[in-house]
Amino acid sequence: MPDMKKTREGFGRGLVELGKSNPDVVVLVGDLSESTMVSFFAKEFPDRFIQMGVAEQNMMNTAAGLSLVGKIPFLSTYGAFATCRCLDQIRVTICYSDLNVKIGGAHGGISVGPDGATHQAMEEISMLRVLPRMKVIVPCDYEETRKATLAAAAAWGPVYIRFGRENVPVVTNTETPFELGKAIVLRPGADLAIIACGVMVFEAMEAADALAKRGIDARVIDLHTIKPIDKTAVIQAAEECGAIITAEEHQINGGLGGAVAEVIVRHRPVPMEFVAVDDRFGQSGTPDELMTAFGLRSRDILAAADRVLKRKTERVF
Amino acid sequence: MIRQNPYRLSIEQMQAKALEIRRDIIAMLVEAKSGHTGGPLGWADVATAMFFHEMVFDPQQPKWPDRDMWFYSFGHVTPIHYSALAEAGFFPLRDLMKFRKFDGHLQGHPSNLDSPGIEVSSGSLGQGLSIAFGAAYGSRMDNHPRRVYAFMSDGEQQEGSIWEAVMSAGHYKLDNLCALIDYNNIQIDGHVEDIMGLAPLADKYRAFRWHVIEIDGHDFPQILSALDEARATKGKPTVILARTVMGQPVSFMRDNYEWHGKPPTREQGEKALTELGTSLDQWSARLLNG
């Protein structure tokens, strides 16, 4: 078994690093300090930590106001509330005005588990990537979340970082390069490409191992930045592999799969399959039960591989 | 540079400036054929006091780090916001004649990336106080002397997020924050008290730990003394409830909610400007040449 670590801890540790290196970084929280792990920052930098209570819309625009006086505000709450509840604030105040606000969305995906559908954010990528100027990052593990947090501070403008609740396998390491907007090819291959984000990157690696045993070389791409999307990496995957699978712990409509499809249909149409939550709300259960029940396992990627390779062979687009 | 308002007009001078600004509002709206008339006219006296006596800024460098900050939460009153900015020197008066037009920079609702003197875009109601709270909080962190002003309508007090901001500013005792409410009791569909009553608004703010000052929003001595009182109030944010008459002082617009969201026709504009002591041609020419 690989090492297991929480992506949200990567956010929390990344913020502490930022706190040390940049006095302008401030952190806001909506009554979820422990859960979003901004408590690390609160402990080290109490003067730059702002408790906003259970009032997410106010927190979002407070961050906007802080950015106007030169701060680099990171706010944190559950992704479901950060996005759906505050979408108007994000659209009009933050994106339209191009403000330097960083949004940390905790509890992304079905793997949130027992809290159930209300707390399982599965719509953030779709909601946010339509907004001009917004950047959307869905890191795959602890280390990548830490790096994404640092990169968010360095990039001007609105950034959303999604992270999850559970321990998830560590796929990257401190040496893995991270550049906002630049996909990482974690495994070479030319028979098909699996483009994934978040915890599905690990599932994609597992699927690629299984495919290799059948003599199929799957390229695995960690598309941590959904927006701005790395068109070059996506088009190259389509050209060189001729078949694409996307995998995300998110609704099937408008997410990573949609973003990739928008690129390939315009530049290099190839058969494509989506592994995602099939337009339904979540429910309570253990993360393991739910990932399996909602079709977010390596075996689901393997089934998608069978379909997409058949279409590739038969030239069915 | 000294931190003070660049104009510091006397009360008589402010009364004259407010009249000019009201003429600007009518002329630009006739030209635009679109926009809000009543609210901007009613807010003209408070806005004049803010831009020509109270607030610290430098129109030559809108992002001057020592400036005060203001947020028009009720973004739709752009005619008063823009005419005050133009009269205060942020951009030429002639720009007002391109209000809401494709080849101008003055958007229907304020856009910070298009026009100087605007900190943040607004137009979706209920957001400005939260932004002002954040700016005031950050300024206090830095021990910055600036004051932060949030201009709001009474109708938008119906937005729930306003009360989140009111609660947080009271909680954090932000005395560098001052909210001013255009309390004209009018919103698009009718009188505020009929649509969704706010009274007792002063008590609501007091209950949320704010200092409350109630004034006649057309009385310059009252406006200035309220601003002085707000500045002197420590340990609490202040809200100034400025009772205004929408459409003031145009006879056929005063206190008539039909004038919330429409511009005057040429004929109506001519009539209004006659009441304001000029003519449409004369005042339009002043703007076009300004």
Pair of tokens at residue B213:
């000052």
Q: What percent of chain B has pLDDT over 90?
A: 99
Interchain contact, A65 vs B137, CB within 8 Å:
yes
Which amino acid makes up residue B254?
R
* Class of residue A9 by CB neighbours under 10 A (exposed 0-12, middle 13-18, buried 19+): middle
Q: A43 pLDDT exceeds 80?
A: yes
Q: Averaged over A31-50, what is the pLDDT?
A: 96
Query: How close does chain A come to B204, measured CA to CA in Å?
Result: 18
Interchain contact, B120 vs A53, CB within 8 Å:
no
Chain B residues closer than 8 Å to A71 by CB: 138, 141
Interchain contact, B121 vs A89, CB within 8 Å:
no
* Class of residue B110 by CB neighbours under 10 A (exposed 0-12, middle 13-18, buried 19+): buried
Q: How far apart are CA A288 and CA B44, in angstroms?
A: 62
Nearest residue of chain B to residue A62 (CA atoms): B134
Local confidence band at A315 (pLDDT 50, 70, 90 cut-offs): confident
Closest to A52 (Cβ–Cβ): which among B69, B136, B168? Answer: B168
Interchain contact, B141 vs A60, CB within 8 Å:
no
| pLDDT tens-place string over residues B239-271 | 999 999 999 999 999 999 999 999 999 999 999
Which amino acid makes up residue A173?
N
Q: Averaged over B112-117, what is the pLDDT?
A: 98
Pair of tokens at residue A171:
């796929």
Nearest residue of chain A to residue B114 (CA atoms): A97
Interchain contact, B131 vs A65, CB within 8 Å:
yes
Chain B residues closer than 8 Å to A89 by CB: 127, 130, 161
Residues 6+ apart with CB under 8 A from A288: none
Query: How close does chain B come to A205, measured CA to CA in Å?
Result: 43
Interchain contact, B111 vs A58, CB within 8 Å:
no
Query: How close does chain B come to A69, measured CA to CA in Å?
Result: 6
- Quick one: three-class SS letters along chain A? CCCEEEHHHHHHHHHHHHHHHCCCEEEEECCCCCCCCCHHHHHHCHHHEEECCCCHHHHHHHHHHHHHCCCEEEEEEEHHHHHHHCHHHHHHHHHCCCCCCEEEEECECHHHCCCCHHHCECCHHHHHHCCCCCEEECCCCHHHHHHHHHHHHHCCCCEEEECCCCEEECCCCCCCCCECCECEEEECCCCEEEEECCCHHHHHHHHHHHHHHCCCCEEEEECCEEECCCHHHHHHHHHHHCCEEEEEEEECCCCHHHHHHHHHHHHCCCCEEEEEECCCCCCCCCHHHHHHHCCCCHHHHHHHHHHHHHHHHHCCC
Query: How close does chain A come to B126, measured CA to CA in Å?
Result: 10
CATH number of B11-288: 3.40.50.970
Q: Averaged over B69-87, what is the pLDDT?
A: 98
Interchain contact, B130 vs A53, CB within 8 Å:
no
User: How many CB pairs below 8 Å do chains A and B form together?
Assistant: 103
Domain positions in chain A: 4-169, 184-314
Contact B251, B53 (CB under 8 A): no
Nearest residue of chain A to residue B168 (CA atoms): A52
Interchain contact, A57 vs B124, CB within 8 Å:
no
Hey, which residues does B241 pair with through a beta bridge?
B181, B214
**Which residues of A touch chain B, with CB atoms under 8 Å apart?**
26, 47-48, 50, 52-53, 55, 57-58, 60-71, 73, 88-89, 91-93, 96-99
Contact A89, A52 (CB under 8 A): no
Q: How far apart are CA A222 and CA B28, in angstroms?
A: 54
CATH number of A4-169: 3.40.50.970
What are the φ/ψ torsions at residue B58 (nearest 5 degrees)?
A: -130, 110
**Residue to substitute from A61, A95, A101, interface B, most B β-carbons within 10 A:** A61
Q: How far apart are CA B209 and CA B181, in angstroms?
A: 17
Alpha carbon A41 to its chain centroid, in Å, reads 22
Interchain contact, B167 vs A50, CB within 8 Å:
no
Interchain contact, A53 vs B141, CB within 8 Å:
no
Closest to A65 (Cβ–Cβ): which among B111, B123, B138? Answer: B138
A56 is known as an active-site residue: yes
The CA distances from residue B162 to A59, B151, B152, B159, B236, in Å, are 12, 12, 10, 6, 17
**Which residues of B touch chain A, with CB atoms under 8 Å apart?**
69, 111-113, 119-124, 127, 130-139, 141-142, 144, 160-161, 164-165, 167-168, 171
Q: Averaged over B224-241, what is the pLDDT?
A: 98
Q: How far apart are CA A223 and CA A276, in angstroms?
A: 15
| pLDDT tens-place string over residues A57-91 | 999 999 999 999 999 999 999 999 999 999 999 99
Interchain contact, B131 vs A61, CB within 8 Å:
yes
* Class of residue A102 by CB neighbours under 10 A (exposed 0-12, middle 13-18, buried 19+): buried
Alpha carbon B232 to its chain centroid, in Å, reads 22
pLDDT at A107: 96
Chain B residues closer than 8 Å to A91 by CB: 124
What's the whole-number average pLDDT of chain B? 97
pLDDT at A1: 74
Residues 6+ apart with CB under 8 A from B194: none
Contact B57, B107 (CB under 8 A): no
Q: What percent of chain B has pLDDT over 70?
A: 100
Local confidence band at A2 (pLDDT 50, 70, 90 cut-offs): confident
| pLDDT tens-place string over residues B192-209 | 999 999 999 999 999 999
Q: Which CATH architecture has domain A184-314?
A: 3-Layer(aba) Sandwich (3.40)
Contact A42, A50 (CB under 8 A): no
Nearest residue of chain A to residue B119 (CA atoms): A68
Local confidence band at B4 (pLDDT 50, 70, 90 cut-offs): very high
Chain B residues closer than 8 Å to A55 by CB: 161, 164, 167-168
Local confidence band at B57 (pLDDT 50, 70, 90 cut-offs): very high
| pLDDT tens-place string over residues A92-120 | 999 999 999 999 999 999 999 999 999 99
The CA distances from residue B45 to A184, B19, B58, in Å, are 59, 9, 21
pLDDT at A148: 98
pLDDT at A316: 76
Pair of tokens at residue A222:
């960690």
The residue from A56, A124, A248, A249 that is catalytic is A56
| pLDDT tens-place string over residues B7-27 | 999 999 999 999 999 999 999
pLDDT at A293: 98
Q: How far apart are CA A297 and CA A291, in angstroms?
A: 6
What's the whole-number average pLDDT of chain A? 97
Q: Averaged over A10-31, what is the pLDDT?
A: 98
Q: Is-same-fold flag (A4-169; A184-314)?
A: yes
Nearest residue of chain A to residue B113 (CA atoms): A97
What are the φ/ψ torsions at residue B118 (nearest 5 degrees)?
A: -120, 120
pLDDT at B1: 79
Pair of tokens at residue A50:
């702002």
Bridge-based pairing state of the strands B211-216 and B190-191 = unpaired
Residues 6+ apart with CB under 8 A from B174: B133, B136, B137, B140, B237
Interchain contact, B134 vs A96, CB within 8 Å:
no
pTM for the structure as a whole:
0.97
Domain positions in chain B: 11-288
Q: A317 pLDDT exceeds 80?
A: no
| pLDDT tens-place string over residues A230-249 | 999 999 999 999 999 999 99
What are the φ/ψ torsions at residue A102 (nearest 5 degrees)?
A: -115, 125
The yes/no answer to whether this complex scores an ipTM above 0.85 is yes
Residues 6+ apart with CB under 8 A from A259: A125, A129, A226, A227, A229
Q: Averaged over B271-285, what is the pLDDT?
A: 98
